[in-house]
């Protein structure tokens, strides 16, 4: 996968766009290996968070119909769905590392 750093200010203060997130490129630009690794890891982390948000948004959309006022669901089950959806919304703010995300369990609506 060709990862890029959208915008980056180099050691001379120049703002660069779409810089390859590759160790050798960043080192050639004057960054230390440690700085380059941090930059690359931030790109990888951003990609993971994007994937998490895409999955989260799909899971929320998949339950949209369940919270409609006219959908036949008990009040207690509707409350469980609302709590589930809020837990999904809270994931980016409540988890520091994208590798530590624990997905909430969707309430069982099969027997509702």
Confidence of residue 112 (pLDDT cuts 50, 70, 90): low
Predicted confidence (pLDDT) per residue in 37-70, tens digit: 999 999 999 999 999 999 999 999 999 999 999 9
Q: What is the pLDDT of residue 111?
A: 63
Q: What is the mean pLDDT of residues 67-89?
A: 95
Q: In a 10 Å sphere around its CB, with 0-12 CB exposed, 13-18 middle and 19+ buried, how is residue 60 labelled?
A: middle
């Amino acid at each position: 996968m060709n990862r890029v750093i959208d915008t980056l200010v180099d050691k001379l203060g120049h703002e660069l766009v779409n810089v390859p997130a590759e160790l050798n490129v960043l080192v050639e630009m004057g960054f230390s290996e440690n700085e380059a690794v941090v930059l690359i890891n931030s790109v990888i982390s951003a990609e993971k968070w994007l994937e998490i948000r895409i999955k989260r948004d799909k899971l929320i959309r998949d339950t949209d119909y369940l919270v409609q006022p006219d959908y036949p669901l008990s009040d207690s089950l509707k409350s469980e769905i609302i709590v589930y959806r809020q837990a999904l919304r809270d994931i980016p703010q409540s988890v520091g590392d994208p590798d530590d995300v624990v997905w909430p369990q969707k309430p069982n609506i099969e027997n509702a």
